[in-house]
Amino acid sequence: MAITLRNKKVEDQIHRLARRWRKGPSAVIAEAVERAAAADEAGQSRFPSDEIARRKLLMENFLQDMAENSTDDDRKAARDIAKTLHDDDGLPI
């Protein structure tokens, strides 16, 4: 299956790595995909730990704000809406 890239920046990066690694573009892409798959299987995140911490703090602050500023009626309305977004098996509609 052929893949067409429509992102000039990515294409340039592939060619730059190909020259540096002395490999063809397909080999560069294959190695990058293999590395990403290995990291994924090992449970490694593609995000630096400080970025993960920053995002967790944002979510914690958001959830705290929602808990402090929403009423029981607000929470019920949100649950009712959420029920319409998924089928009986919990899959998105």
pTM of the model: 0.46
17 contact partners, CB below 8 Å, separation of at least 6: 23, 28, 32
Q: Is 65 exposed, middle or buried (0-12, 13-18, 19+ CB in 10 A)?
A: exposed
3-16 b/e (C-beta count within 10 Å ≥ 16 → b) = eeeeeeeeeeebee
Confidence (pLDDT) at 31? 94
State the DSSP H helix or E strand holding residue 59, giving kind and residue range, or none if neither. Answer: helix 49-69
* pLDDT exceeds 90 at position 11: yes
Contact indicator for 30, 21 with CB cutoff of 8 Å: no
Provide mean pLDDT across the span 18-47: 88
Query: pLDDT tens-digit profile of 39-92?
Result: 888 877 677 888 889 999 999 999 999 999 999 999 999 999 988 988 777 788
Cα 26 vs. chain centroid, distance in angstroms? 24
CA 33 to chain centre: 15
